[in-house]
Amino acid sequence: MIDDRETELIVGCAQMASVLDPMQNLERCVSVAQEASRRGVQLLIFPESASSRSDDPHVPPLGEPLDGGFVADLASAVSDLAMTVIVGVTESGSADLPHNTLVALRGGRIISVYRKMHLYDAAGLRESDAISSGDGPVVTFEVDGFRVGMMTCYDIRFPEIARLLASDGADVLAVPTSWVRGPMKELHWTTFCQARAIENTVYVAGAAQTGGMRIGRSMIVAPDGIAEASAGTDTGLVVSRISRDRLHRVREAFPVLRQRRFSIVGTPHPAGEISAAGYPA
């Protein structure tokens, strides 16, 4: 019998400089997926807005339904690869504004969907002018013996989502991002990735947009807070091997998930309903 501590997972984070046209981005994503497959990657994470990106606040990214266009074509293109792919897209649908959505693909089909809950209405920008916020649920899914949860960019500033995913058994937090440049923003990003890993004893895999207004800095952080692999500002693929044994060792040394004395309700309040003091506004 094989001890589950021997289980490992090869994770890849694609760092991209996506453009507005989904078809151009699709070609790049397929190329990266093929490279990742040759390197043995089992979980490949693309950034937020991988399907369509605009650095002009007056030009929104192009939205498409999840059952067609970029998502359907990518699912088909990677269907024969032995990997799970997470990708950030702009999802059009029934809402007045599109969703900023993460989709997990495997075997040619969608296995999980997450719509960004916390929109980047900060530092002079208003994502909510162009995007509808999601309301969950926050869920995990399995990839070769590891539980994976998804969250998007600005979500990482809100520790409740990471804790909900850890409480649901997540071993890995996939965090596609399109982190905007600004004073101390690189420090914020790296600090949040390490903090969410340490406080939840999980791996954090952040796949980033780069170029223009975006900082890059994709990274894979171990549950003890050590960045096992990271990128600067160039496009490319960051790869790391994560292990069940390391999760066990860190969780035995710091059993914080067992020791916590507060629970978090998984149903979100409407955006803006909670005041700074933590009570309904």
Q: Is residue 159 left, alpha or beta, with left meaning phi > 0 and alpha meaning psi from -120 to 50?
A: alpha
Q: How confident is the model at residue 1, as a pLDDT?
A: 43
pLDDT tens string 198-253: 999 999 999 999 999 999 999 999 999 999 999 999 999 999 999 999 999 999 99
Q: Map out the domains of the chain with their CATH numbers.
A: 8-259 (3.60.110.10)
48 classed as catalytic: yes
pLDDT tens string 164-179: 999 999 999 999 999 9
Q: Per-residue pLDDT for 150 more than 50?
A: yes
- Select which of 116, 127, 193, 199 is catalytic: 116
**How sure is the predictor about 279, in pLDDT bands with cuts at 50, 70 and 90?**
low
**How sure is the predictor about 54, in pLDDT bands with cuts at 50, 70 and 90?**
very high
- Select which of 13, 29, 127, 153 is catalytic: 153
Give dist(CA 93, CA 246) in Å, integer: 41
For the segment 4-20, the average pLDDT, to the nearest whole number, is: 92
**How sure is the predictor about 276, in pLDDT bands with cuts at 50, 70 and 90?**
low
Average pLDDT across the chain, whole number: 94
64 classed as catalytic: no
Q: How confident is the model at residue 5, as a pLDDT?
A: 60
193 classed as catalytic: no
